[in-house]
Amino acid sequence: MVGGRYDADVDLVLGLGAVAIVLIVGFQLWSARRAGRKEEVSRQQHKQSVERNVQPVSLHPVVNLGACIGSGACITACPEKDVLGIVDGKARLLNPNACIGHGECLRACPVEAITLVLGTEKRGVDIPLLAGDFQSNVPGLFIVGELGGMGLIYNAMTQGLQGVRALLKQPPAKSEGVHQLAIVGAGPAGIAAALAALEAKLDFVIVDQESVGGTVLHYPRHKIVMTRPVDLPLYGKLKVTEVSKEALLATWEDILVKTGLKVRTGVRVDDVKRDAEGVFELGTSTGPIRARRVMLAMGRRGSPRKLGVPGEELPKVCYRLLEPENYTGSHCLVVGGGDAAIEAAMALSEAGATVQLSYRGEVFDRIKPKNQEKLDASAGVKVLFKSQVKQIRADGVSLDVAGQVQDLKNDYVLIFAGGVLPTAFLEKAGVQVKTMKGEAYAPANR
């Protein structure tokens, strides 16, 4: 009996071992097939990106294929999930324009095979030259947020906080009629900087040529904005990961109410001058402002880029979309090839407008993959590639489409050709500006 029981136990163990081996092998085969399917998808995405000659519009990763070991840590760490993928055992940039500069991939790479860069050889990006504390070459003049290359809300706010904390290491003197700090721009970076200044009890002023919100104001309604939680002085943790434009603007208002922060809106800053004693004078639309330190947090839009065509001065022409419902039943021409133009065209179409989208290029080479997918699936937006507006009239518009002039019925023209970087403004202030063409960029908050 003992021998029989022993044989049965051995058979049971052997049987369980065989089952375990089968399960392990089966799992490995399933994992291999799954990885193979995933890699094939990544291969196709990378191929499409190369064929479309996609040009990243902001900070993005470049992978050193010679150093990459294909661990996939960068892919796992990326909050956007579809920016990078493994192709032939190496990390590849699949969707350059899905990247919004988190920088998590760089931090996650175990062999430092990733570099964050700005611009490409084909499309350069103008960036003010800044030190690690976000101070420009002009002593006392700081630049944070989108104007300095950081459009992501989390990064912009973090820079605003760090910039103020850096200048507090040598607090500017107090004097009659001269603020310790003047902040230009009430977007994410400016609001964060102002809260840090308020907490430190600085004598400061914050102004904006429009109202609180910055670039967010120019998003179409209900556009989803991505960010990460950030601790704001006097307010607490801003726990926002995915939010509509309206909700985010409501959050800004909540911050103002709870902290008592005062923003002077409707104040346009035309120039910044520094005298021999190191005091800045800001020339504004409401009179001069004097300050010992200046922080520019005003974004990169500057003034909207215009087409320079006859009829552009007509009231039917605008450069942002706030209420798509106001265009229901009308004929709209949207001009531009970036995400803002695509999103505006889609919003107008969904609101019941007849929409035509004019772009001078042959393909959309700088939009996010999700926007491309939505546009491909839409029957309400007619895309006119290789087209340029020639004339705008009260009841129509003339376009050159691949060398042929077309006259279109039109009620409104919405232009999304980007903003003119205030390079002249910066250079007049003495700030050095450099055109980045795929060069490494590592701001302090990384």
- The answer regarding whether domain 2-118 maps to CATH 3.30.70.100 reads no
Topology (CATH level 3) of domain 304-419: FAD/NAD(P)-binding domain (3.50.50)
2-118 and 304-419: same fold?
no
Residue of 84, 250, 225, 222 whose CA lies nearest to 152: 225
Contact criterion met (CB below 8 Å) for 190 and 142:
no
Relative to beta strand 396-401, strand 387-392 is antiparallel
Computed on alpha carbons and rounded to an integer, the radius of gyration of the chain in Å comes to: 27
pLDDT tens digits, 265-286 = 999 999 999 999 999 999 999 9
Strands (DSSP E) along 221-261, which ranges?
Answer: 224-226, 230-232, 236-238, 242-244
Residue of 422, 415, 221 whose CA lies nearest to 307: 415
Where in the chain are the domains?
Answer: 2-118, 125-302+421-440, 304-419
Distance separating the N- and C-terminal Cα atoms of the chain = 71
pLDDT over threshold 80, residue 145: yes
DSSP codes of every residue in 274-319? E-TTS-EEEEETT--EEEEEEEE---S-BEEPP---TTTTSTTEES
Residue ranges in 290-418 assigned as alpha helix (H): 339-350, 369-377
pLDDT tens digits, 16-75 = 666 667 667 666 665 556 656 778 888 888 888 887 777 776 778 999 999 999 999 999
The pLDDT of 147-169, averaged and rounded, is: 85
Gap between the Cα atoms of 389 and 382, Å rounded: 15
The CATH architecture to which 125-302+421-440 belongs is 3-Layer(bba) Sandwich (3.50)
Which segment of 12-21, 90-99, 194-203, 355-364 scores lowest on mean pLDDT? Answer: 12-21
The residue behind tokens 């095979």 is 113
